[in-house]
Structure 1
């Protein structure tokens, strides 16, 4: 945004890393229930407690594996260190644990308490982005649910550790969204409209380009457990001096649950938006586009109405 501020404090949005994740769980057989495979899509936000330690929160929902409706919410803490000693300064190795609650979707978690432990590898892609993988185990407090899992992550680094310094101000926006998904294919063969509410995070990487992460969940349309997690990039440009703006974005992620037919869970979504800024930092957007699954099934038009709040944050 062309400005700088001097700070020694954490900036960003109050947290330091934000990521989208996908996981595959191999659930062990128990009693008369055979072993199964469950896929999850989720998000995680983390705060640094020190150079090596961090803590955060994570949420995920099932998209595949006969566990429609399963969701989990956990607090997490971990430790990591750079592999600079072997010449790989952008590679970080660590471990983390998580405790919280999970249930639904015919997944037997007993009283609902969950614990996780995992090893983590993270690779920084320049200053502001990273990818990662982790492998570990998750277990319910009662022992009824016991699984091994592998997870991939893609994320944004919103703040960086270091001494006080001048921080460039970058543009960030939060959006509240209502989407109408038309004729969403269902597992029973029907095609029914559904409505979702969601939240979007956008971070500018120049005057006309941005990165975005989004999460949406169904609130109507006989698809109560349907959820979507998306990440991607977009472009925007002003149309006039009266506050009109045109933007377009291409996203990929995972969707499922609520009886919506989306074999494999992977989706892509393309959207175009017309926006109007009624006052500085506030914008209404009307969007149209399409969401499509990797395989036969979900392939629907999407209408989106969003209210966006923009502001600048210092990035160390």
Structure 2
């Protein structure tokens, strides 16, 4: 009678495995010093049975002094014809120093995803990798092999891999703190600070007749997403953004971009121009292999110390596909530590965060899948959440989910919304959240992609900065059949950035 409401043993086993990996990775951070790194990798499959030939991978890793490291990685299809295939998850590994600047590295990645019609099944990926490399005074270059097998698909092959790793000198500290003990040393190096976080809404207005994979013209698309902006120099910022289709045509389309933005302050506003590269696809949008470029110009008005508004106009297009669109966009931002006109003249200002990673389940239910897609399993998803703490109780949460189980390869969702925390004694806390965002892919019936979530979290503190969280929520698709509980378990870690 409870079949379809209670996830089966395999789904629960995956949840336990992911929670264990997170625990083993995060707990050493309490006692081990280390550094944040960013890694870019390129791989090419040796045996291919699908149009999916290889990836570009992007990782943010925390490496401890003893050689162990953990972090998040996103693989984006870049070779072949599988634009829109994304696989995200967690990676844990160890680097072994061999002398003379040489090293060996072994790691394992666990995650999930899909897209581009390449993963009709679960979309789970357990990827071991072994690399040999050299450290050029902090900049690391490595080459090696890995094995890629995505469950529920024909993707099963060794891969050759090349990776470049550099320090990501972000002004930050572990826990919720008011001063940065390592910032003086870090500011003597090339470094970045987190400047602002944006909620972005934009429209794609296709400019040609080949923007759809079938050769037809794409109708206007409306996207919702998030952007993180980092100070780089007085005149330049670095940005990372992700967005997904939430209304109109292209349900299932998703993109992420990284780029450089030039800033020209004029009184209370900033004029800007930027350019970025990234990966995108899904929703029958013709992005070819998935590699895209974007350029924009606009204006940002600083209304208060905590709110700014941005309007821009730009172009986004596929490098080896026919997709090309005019992109008007607006965003609301939370500046973290001052506006451009006083940047560099004020003391370091702390901004407190909570990051969590875990595993969530959506029980199978009537109407969850589109007609004719088949499948009756519950959905298992890896989740990653960032909470921006405006006070010890009130916060803004951004959340991303990617599929690893449930015959829905390619299903993913992103959510954003406010939350409020109430402490209960010394170790427990209850948080309530109201979230909205986009969800699509994998044959799941989300209509145009817009979804809403109400969530109740019960947290138990393992230490002053680490907590175990149980999530009890409900997800509802405004125009589709997805309407069910959203249940999760994960670890939460407090940290502080400085601007």
State the Cα distance separating 1:51 from its structure 2 match: 3.1
1:274 aligns with 2:458: yes
Structure having the larger proportion of residues in helix: 2
1:15 aligns with 2:190: no
CA separation in 1, counterparts of 2:247 and 2:443? 10
**Structure ID, larger Rg:** 2
Give the match's secondary structure for 2:443.
Answer: coil
CA separation in 1, counterparts of 2:449 and 2:266? 34
State the Cα distance separating 1:224 from its structure 2 match: 2.1
CA separation in 1, counterparts of 2:443 and 2:390? 37
State the Cα distance separating 1:79 from its structure 2 match: 2.0
Q: Residues 104-183 of structure 1: matches in 2 within 5 Å?
A: 104-142=282-320, 144-160=322-338, 162-163=343-344, 165-183=346-364
Residue matched to 2:406: 221
Cα offsets for 1:45-66 (capped at 9, x unmatched): 2222333322223333445566
Cα distance 1:126–1:224, how it changes in 2: closer, same or farther (>3 A)? Answer: farther
State the Cα distance separating 1:169 from its structure 2 match: 3.9
State the Cα distance separating 1:268 from its structure 2 match: 1.9
CA separation in 2, counterparts of 1:206 and 1:79? 31
Any gaps of 5 or more consecutive residues in structure 2?
1-175
CA separation in 2, counterparts of 1:275 and 1:187? 35
Verify the 8 A CA contact 2:454 2:475 in the aligned structure 1.
yes
CA separation in 2, counterparts of 1:216 and 1:159? 29
Cα offsets for 1:232-261 (capped at 9, x unmatched): 2211122123x1111111122222222222
CA separation in 2, counterparts of 1:257 and 1:125? 38
Q: Which of residues 183, 204, 219 in structure 2 aligns to 1:25?
A: 204
Q: Please report the TM-score for the alignment, with normalisation by the length of structure 2.
A: 0.55
RMSD of aligned residue pairs (Cα, Å):
3.1
Structure having the larger proportion of residues in strand: 1
Cα distance 1:269–1:205, how it changes in 2: closer, same or farther (>3 A)? Answer: same
CA separation in 1, counterparts of 2:360 and 2:309? 29
Residue matched to 1:234: 419
State the Cα distance separating 1:207 from its structure 2 match: 2.5
1:259 aligns with 2:259: no
CA separation in 1, counterparts of 2:361 and 2:430? 20
Residue matched to 1:46: 229
Name which of structure 1's ranges 161-170 and 96-105 shifts more when overlaid on structure 2: 161-170
Cα distance 1:51–1:284, how it changes in 2: closer, same or farther (>3 A)? Answer: same
Q: Please report the TM-score for the alignment, with normalisation by the length of structure 1.
A: 0.83
Higher relative contact order (CA 8 A, sep 6+): 1
Aligned length: 308
CA separation in 1, counterparts of 2:279 and 2:319? 10
Cα offsets for 1:254-279 (capped at 9, x unmatched): 22222222223322211111111112
Cα distance 1:125–1:13, how it changes in 2: closer, same or farther (>3 A)? Answer: farther
Name which of structure 1's ranges 1-10 and 155-164 shifts more when overlaid on structure 2: 1-10
CA separation in 1, counterparts of 2:301 and 2:428? 39
1:249 aligns with 2:433: yes
